[in-house]
């Protein structure tokens, strides 16, 4: 697929602007790459990196990591499910089913939930609900509710309304019409979006611990704070395995069940 | 014959299966609820409510103090600069890696009956694995590691973004080369051109649009990522937010969150606009 660029001059100018912006960024930050990798700093960095090459694989530490992985998975699972529920509840007004005023309000709420990153929600939830995985679960649920709510609302808006109208005209209630005429049509999309976000959330749950919200991240933060590089290296390896495992599993699932 | 009228509405024939499936799912969820210590009641704990209440009551009005606003503006520019500088480094790393990692430029693809070069076989898989490791460790973990290595401040954030996004860009560029029409490059190589030249004149023109679009999209992601880098001490708005949160300064937190909102929406618009104009 090759297209002829219709505005070569504009493209050139924009690309030049981008190059200038990136140059200014380096200037503003005043990064000194020379000092970063010169003599002493370089060898110090190499020594620091070397500490990570001897990961701690003692059974006790591996057990703790296993628990951390379970905690991470549980946080992401519960957080995503809660988000799917809340997202669906918010998507109904956001799709314009309860009037224009509620539609605007719901959209604004979804945007606000979505714009605040998970990690910031986690920091807030640690204040509101105390340290630990509960805060992480709530943080994931809040951010993901915003993301899923918007996607769900779009899915609902694009669903044909004829089946639901037929049921309504035949005398069914609103709830029954939604459950038996609208939901079956959007269900596959809702499940696909939710699974996709779950995949994202597993990765996110692994780092929410940096602000004290449980999971593998908390272990990593603590070990690094105590300069226990060997233990930290094992946690990073566990994160890597978790992310790669989720990636390949979802890739396999997509090929198996989703037809392009 | 008409069916007899019934007083009660018809029942869902699948209701029993649905109910039992729901119960099974709930039973399976129980351990996850235990492990995640999920507990909404913690939000209603009087002590927590008191803390959060006094904190939230400070949210309005957001701090408009000129000194703080100046600080905020500096942090915002620093965040954007971090993302941009990180993306530039990522681009510089990703381009050579993608050339090594892609199969599109292998001798076997470009020449008829050619054996794959041994150098390609030796270099390709290590490069691909390196790219996988770079992008699979979350950027904020890289940031945490770099803060320990190069000290607090935006440098760690720039390096973290450079490394993670190099992994992502390198992989996607390599895939883009493989997906475009190879015939122009094949024609050039078979007419005697060198492979770098065949890449520049035969392959790149077809791939550039998609590469540009993906890079700009990633730039948008990098801006969002650099917003939170500060939580591990890597500079930018996140660091200011972390400080204000620790000091329970509600008004400052509200002001920073508003800037977050604006930046996320702005980068969204900017990236969509640039992609429309450039591609």
d(CA A223, CA A141): 27
Where along chain A do its domains lie?
Answer: 57-257
Residues A35, A36, A38, A39, Cα dihedral to 10°? 110
Average pLDDT over residues B139-160: 91
Does the pLDDT at position A259 exceed 70?
no
Spatial CB neighbours of A162, under 8 Å, sequence gap ≥ 6: none
* pLDDT (tens digit per residue) in A88-117: 999 999 998 888 899 999 999 999 899 889
CB-based contact, B274 to chain A, within 8 Å? yes
Q: How many CB atoms lie within 10 A of CB A48?
A: 15
Region of poorest pLDDT, from B50-59, B87-96, B235-244: B50-59
Candidates B54, B93, B141, B161, partner chain A, best to mutate (most A CBs within 10 A):
B141
Does the pLDDT at position B171 exceed 70?
yes
Q: B201, B122 in Cβ contact below 8 A?
A: no
pLDDT (0 to 100) of residue A163? 93
Helices marked H in B151-203: 154-179, 183-190, 195-198
CB-based contact, B21 to chain A, within 8 Å? no
Residues of B whose CB is below 8 A from A24: 81
Does the pLDDT at position A152 exceed 70?
yes
CB-based contact, B125 to chain A, within 8 Å? no
Does the pLDDT at position A249 exceed 80?
yes
Please state the φ and ψ torsions of residue A55, each to the nearest 5 degrees. -65, 145
Helix (H) or strand (E) holding A174: helix A174-177
Percent of chain B at pLDDT above 90? 49
pLDDT (0 to 100) of residue A105? 94
CB-based contact, B167 to chain A, within 8 Å? no
d(CA A219, CA B204): 45
Helices marked H in A30-117: 33-37, 39-50, 59-94, 100-115
d(CA B138, CA A176): 44
pLDDT (0 to 100) of residue B9? 63
Overall fold of domain A57-257: MetI-like fold (1.10.3720)
pLDDT band at A2 (very low <50, low <70, confident <90, very high): very low
Sign of the dihedral defined by the CA atoms of residues A105, A107, A110, A115, in that order? negative
Tell me the two tokens of residue B236. 């930018």
pLDDT (0 to 100) of residue B274? 87
CB-based contact A236 B55, cutoff 8 Å: no
pLDDT (0 to 100) of residue A5? 64
Region of poorest pLDDT, from A143-147, B49-53, B117-121, B266-270: B117-121
Region of poorest pLDDT, from A136-140, A178-182, A221-225, B117-121: B117-121
CB-based contact B228 A221, cutoff 8 Å: no
Number of H helices, E strands in chain A: 12, 0
Nearest CA in chain B to A173: B9
CB-based contact B55 A127, cutoff 8 Å: yes
d(CA B271, CA B258): 20
pLDDT band at A147 (very low <50, low <70, confident <90, very high): very high
Spatial CB neighbours of B260, under 8 Å, sequence gap ≥ 6: A115, A116, A117, A120, B227, B237, B241
d(CA B208, CA B78): 29
Q: Which of B29, B36, B231 sits opposite A119 (nearest CB)?
A: B231
| Selected residue with higher pLDDT from B114 and B82 | B82
CA A134 to mean position of chain CA atoms: 17
CB-based contact A25 B140, cutoff 8 Å: no
Region of poorest pLDDT, from A68-77, A247-256, B67-76: A247-256
Please, what is the average pLDDT of chain B?
88
Shortest distance between the Cα of B56 and any Cα of chain A, in A, equals 10
Percent of chain A at pLDDT above 90? 60
Is domain B66-278 annotated with CATH 3.30.360.10? Answer: no
Reduced 3-state DSSP string for A106-129:
HHHHHHHHHHCCHHHHHHHHHHHH
CB-based contact B231 A123, cutoff 8 Å: yes
Give the three-class secondary structure for B131. helix
Where along chain B do its domains lie?
Answer: 66-278
pLDDT (0 to 100) of residue B4? 55
Shortest distance between the Cα of B165 and any Cα of chain A, in A, equals 15
Q: B40, B198 in Cβ contact below 8 A?
A: no
Candidates B36, B42, B250, partner chain A, best to mutate (most A CBs within 10 A):
B36
ipTM: 0.86
Average pLDDT over residues A245-255: 87
Average pLDDT over residues A121-127: 92
Q: Which of B29, B48, B205 sits opposite A128 (nearest CB)?
A: B48
* pLDDT (tens digit per residue) in A43-67: 888 888 888 888 888 899 999 999 9
| Selected residue with higher pLDDT from B11 and B104 | B104
| Selected residue with higher pLDDT from B3 and B44 | B44
pLDDT (0 to 100) of residue B65? 86
Choose from A18-32, A44-58, A193-207 the range with maximum mean pLDDT. Answer: A193-207
Shortest distance between the Cα of A91 and any Cα of chain B, in A, equals 20
């Amino acid at each position: 697929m090759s297209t002829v660029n219709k505005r070569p001059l504009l493209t050139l100018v924009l690309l030049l602007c981008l190059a200038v912006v990136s140059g200014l960024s380096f200037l503003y930050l005043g990064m000194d790459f020379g000092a970063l990798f010169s003599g002493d700093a370089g060898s110090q960095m190499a020594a620091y990196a070397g500490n990570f090459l001897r990961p701690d694989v003692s059974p006790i530490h591996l057990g703790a990591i296993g628990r951390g992985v379970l905690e991470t998975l549980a946080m992401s699972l519960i957080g995503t499910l809660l988000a799917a529920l809340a997202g669906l509840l918010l998507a109904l007004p956001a799709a314009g089913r309860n009037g224009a005023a509620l539609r605007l309000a719901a959209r604004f709420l979804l945007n606000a939930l979505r714009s605040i990153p998970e990690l910031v929600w986690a920091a807030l939830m640690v204040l509101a609900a105390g340290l630990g995985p509960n805060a992480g679960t709530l943080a994931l649920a809040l951010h993901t509710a915003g993301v899923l709510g918007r996607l769900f609302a779009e899915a609902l808006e694009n669903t044909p309304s004829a089946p639901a109208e037929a049921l309504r005209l035949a005398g069914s209630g609103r709830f029954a019409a939604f459950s038996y005429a609208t939901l079956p049509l959007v269900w596959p999309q809702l499940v696909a979006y939710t699974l996709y976000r779950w995949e994202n959330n597993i990765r996110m749950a692994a780092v929410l611990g940096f602000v004290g919200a449980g999971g593998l991240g908390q272990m990593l933060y603590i070990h690094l704070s105590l300069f226990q590089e060997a233990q930290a290296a094992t946690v990073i390896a566990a994160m890597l395995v978790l992310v790669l495992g989720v990636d390949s599993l979802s890739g396999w699932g997509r090929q198996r069940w989703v037809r392009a | 014959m008409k069916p007899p009228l019934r007083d009660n509405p018809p029942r869902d024939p699948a209701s029993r299966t649905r109910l039992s499936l729901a119960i099974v799912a709930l039973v399976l969820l129980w351990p996850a609820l235990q492990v995640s210590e999920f507990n909404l009641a913690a939000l209603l704990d009087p002590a927590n409510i008191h803390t959060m209440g006094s904190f939230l009551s400070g949210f309005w009005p957001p701090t408009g103090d000129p000194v703080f606003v100046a600080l905020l503006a500096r942090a915002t520019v620093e965040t954007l600069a971090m993302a941009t500088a990180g993306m530039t480094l990522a681009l510089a790393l990703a381009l050579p890696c993608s050339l090594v990692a892609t199969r599109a430029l292998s001798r076997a693809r470009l020449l008829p009956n050619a054996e794959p070069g041994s150098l390609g076989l030796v270099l390709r898989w290590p490069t691909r694995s390196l790219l996988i490791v770079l992008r699979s460790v979350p950027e904020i973990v890289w940031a945490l590691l770099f803060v320990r290595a190069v000290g607090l401040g935006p440098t760690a954030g720039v390096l973290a973004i450079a490394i993670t996004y190099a992994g992502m860009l390198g992989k996607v560029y390599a895939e883009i080369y493989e997906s475009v029409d190879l015939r122009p490059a094949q024609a050039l190589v078979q007419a005697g051109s060198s492979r770098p030249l065949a890449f520049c004149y035969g392959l790149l023109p077809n791939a550039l649009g998609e590469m540009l679009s993906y890079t700009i999209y990633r730039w948008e992601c990098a801006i969002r990522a650099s917003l939170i880098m500060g939580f591990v001490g890597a500079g930018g708005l996140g660091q200011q937010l972390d400080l204000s949160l620790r000091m329970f300064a509600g008004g400052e937190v509200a002001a920073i969150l508003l800037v977050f909102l604006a930046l996320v929406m702005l980068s969204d618009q900017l990236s969509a606009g640039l992609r429309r104009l450039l591609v």
